[in-house]
Amino acid sequence: MVSKRKKKYTTGEGAQFMTRKAALKKLQLSLNDFRRLCILKGRARAVRDFEKLNRYLNNHPTLKLDHIVKERYPTFIDALRDLDDCLTLCFLFSTFPSLAHVPRDQSALCRRLTLEFVHAVIEAKALRKVFISIKGYYFQAEVKGQTITWIVPHHFSFTPQSKAEVDFKIMSTFVEFYTVMLGFVNFRIYHSLNLYYPPKFSAITQGENEKSLVDEDIFVAERVAGLNLPLSKTSNESVDEDLEIDNFDTGEEDAEKIEAKKEMETIKKLKTLFKGLKFFLNREVPREPLVFIIRCFGGEVSWDKTLFVGSTFDENDESITHQIVDRPSMDKQYISRYYVQPQWVFDSVNARDLMPVNKYFMGEILPPHLSPFIDKERDQQYIPPEERALYDPSVLEEQHKKDEKGDESDEDKEEESDEVSGEDDVEGEKNEEENESENTSQKLKLSVSTGEVYKEVPWEKNRQEQQEYRLREKMIKKKHRKLYKSMMEGKKDRAKEIWLLRKKRRLHDEKQAEEKKAKKKQGKSNSEFQKPSKKVKRIKTQ
């Protein structure tokens, strides 16, 4: 077969060129504007007139998004309600290096704005919940009565992604809008807290602020050091955002009002959870989230000054109450402080009280880290027994009783063989008493028969309920049947997931119980081997 002849300028180097007519159509310009553009942008660069070129680029109009932010969020509260995605994406971009579709100025702007927001949360003591996940650190704050939740990613070395997996260009467009929005929000929050904006650190000199940060590790160290410093205020007046409920003598107190009072008291106590405590962080501990959390709740924190800048006290300070470590043991320890793992800080915040430190010592197996963002009254969700115990103390007591019965069951089995003969006699006496009671009841039985109570057959009741359920399903309209089927499939999937999680937990508990029994038997065998028998003692005495 004869191949078709290719048209001219469709392949090769000729296809890379564009005619003036095609360029005018693509740029949507007139011929005069196109010639002016070529003169200003092309001639100046070709002639190497860089002064003229820079003048044109500096005077080039830039797109501003202020009016779009104001149109979308007419009030400050509207902006706070939609701040979750904004913060999550800005914190993600603050960890990026310079990429092909992400300008370096944009990442630097995200770092500055997120750091400003974190400082505002510290000053307002607005943090309420924290959680460690595979995705990162979950934080929840309450600002002006609005709940804001965001994720801070873990600090790992950046691995470049292929363009097919992640579209950084679209994400960068969102961040371009979110940075303007976050700038407005930070400005309003700082002025409501009587703080200077942009923030001024009272303990950092001007020379340290203007230092060029080339290394990423140095920048992170500087940012964490900034979190440990107080901000300069416009006035000495303290801003107290605690709400007060009006008390009216109506004779009866509403249940909702009592719950609101209790919630206010717990939040007031939570704001000063770490007040009077001094923490020292080891080098292996993630410093940024811990410094942020400890400072939010009134605690003091420091680290080794030879490793990172911004430390406020040394490790040999006798007033340190807690040292956060993430290693099995340490050679040098101080008696005047507790050595706990980082999870103790997170669990104490979620429990709104200082947790017992004995479960979080070095080398201890940590208790489950439960998420505080899950509703306790949720439906079709697996709730672990530890989480159930937080809301219902009786569940915790039952768990303790089960553990005690498990320990006592082995001892009871050993004692059963000695008590069999005594129990047989007691059972014989019980049987004789039961026979006598049956004979007396037969004698006292009346001749008149009472009416029989109708007994419901359980399988018949279930069959009737299922039949009624199928009839209700048939009444669903055609346009809603697909939605109903997808809902039922989701319900089945959730039930299957709950069953699998319960099975996994049951197998884990059985394995732990077996390991516990094996350790107990091994300990008994070792003690019996070390303890001499009675015969050996008699020989020695003779």
| Residue 34: Cβ-neighbour burial (10 angstroms; 0-12, 13-18, 19+) | middle
| Residue 334: Cβ-neighbour burial (10 angstroms; 0-12, 13-18, 19+) | middle
For residue 75, is it within any domain?
A: yes
pLDDT of residue 230: 76
For residue 491, is it within any domain?
A: no
DSSP line for 134-198: SSEEEEEEEETTEEEEEEEE------PPPTTT--HHHHHHHHHHHHHHHHHHHHHHHHHTTB-SS
pLDDT of residue 311: 83
Q: How many CB atoms lie within 10 A of CB 12?
A: 9
Q: In whole angstroms, what is the distance from residue 388 CA to residue 395 CA?
A: 7
Nearest CA to 265 out of 245, 235, 246 is that of 245
Nearest CA to 138 out of 214, 98, 82, 87 is that of 87
pLDDT of residue 434: 58
Q: Could you say which of 203, 227, 251 is where a domain stops?
A: 227
Alpha helices in 216-254 (DSSP H): 216-227
Cβ(274)–Cβ(298) under 8 Å? yes
Residues 113 and 193 in one domain: yes
For residue 279, is it within any domain?
A: yes
Coil, helix or strand for 231? Answer: strand
For residue 481, is it within any domain?
A: no
Two structure tokens written together for 298: 């009134």
For residue 450, is it within any domain?
A: no
Number of domains in the chain: 3
pLDDT of residue 171: 86
Compute the chain's Rg from CA coordinates.
Answer: 36
pLDDT of residue 212: 42
Residues 76 and 181 in one domain: yes
pLDDT of residue 522: 82
- Buried-state track 110-149, b at ≥16 Cβ within 10 A, e below 16: bbbbbbbbbbbbbbbbbbbbbbbeeebbbbbbbbeeeebb
Question: Which amino acid, one-letter code, is at 288?
Answer: E
Residues 102 and 54 in one domain: no
Residues 144 and 74 in one domain: yes
pLDDT of residue 393: 61
Residues 27 and 135 in one domain: no
Residue 334 CA to its chain's centroid (Å): 32
Q: φ and ψ at 234, to 5 degrees? A: -75, -30
Q: φ and ψ at 116, to 5 degrees? A: -65, -40
Cβ(45)–Cβ(53) under 8 Å? yes
pLDDT of residue 204: 45
What residues have CB less than 8 Å from 142, skipping those under 6 apart? 126, 128, 148
Q: Could you say which of 358, 373, 388 is where a domain stops?
A: 373
Residues 196 and 72 in one domain: yes
Residues 40 and 89 in one domain: no
For residue 428, is it within any domain?
A: no
310: CATH: 3.40.50.10190
For residue 527, is it within any domain?
A: no
**Using H for helix, E for strand and C for coil, what is the string for 367-420?**
CCCCCCCCCCCCCCCCCCHHHHHHHCHHHHHHHHHHHHHHHHHHHHHHHHCCCH
For residue 270, is it within any domain?
A: yes
Q: Could you say which of 184, 202, 227 is where a domain stops?
A: 227
- Show pLDDT as tens, one digit a residue, over the chain (542 residues): 556 777 776 777 667 778 888 888 888 888 888 887 776 566 766 667 778 777 877 776 777 888 888 889 999 999 999 999 999 999 998 888 767 677 788 888 998 999 999 999 999 999 999 999 998 999 999 999 899 999 999 887 666 666 567 778 888 888 989 999 999 999 999 999 988 888 876 544 433 443 444 455 666 677 777 777 777 776 666 555 555 555 555 545 577 778 788 888 888 888 898 999 999 999 999 888 999 999 999 999 999 888 888 888 888 888 999 999 999 888 888 898 999 999 999 999 998 889 999 999 998 888 888 888 876 666 667 777 777 766 666 655 665 566 555 555 555 554 454 444 444 544 555 555 555 555 555 545 556 677 777 777 778 888 888 888 888 888 888 888 888 888 889 888 888 888 898 888 889 888 888 888 888 888 777 766 665 554 444 444 44
Residues 328 and 276 in one domain: yes
Q: How far is CA 363 from CA 58, 132, 516, in A?
A: 60, 20, 18
Residues 73 and 140 in one domain: yes
Residue 31: which domain range?
19-58
Coil, helix or strand for 208? Answer: helix
Residues 38 and 77 in one domain: no
Residues 284 and 210 in one domain: no
Nearest CA to 209 out of 225, 191, 197, 192 is that of 225
Residues 317 and 187 in one domain: no
pLDDT of residue 421: 43
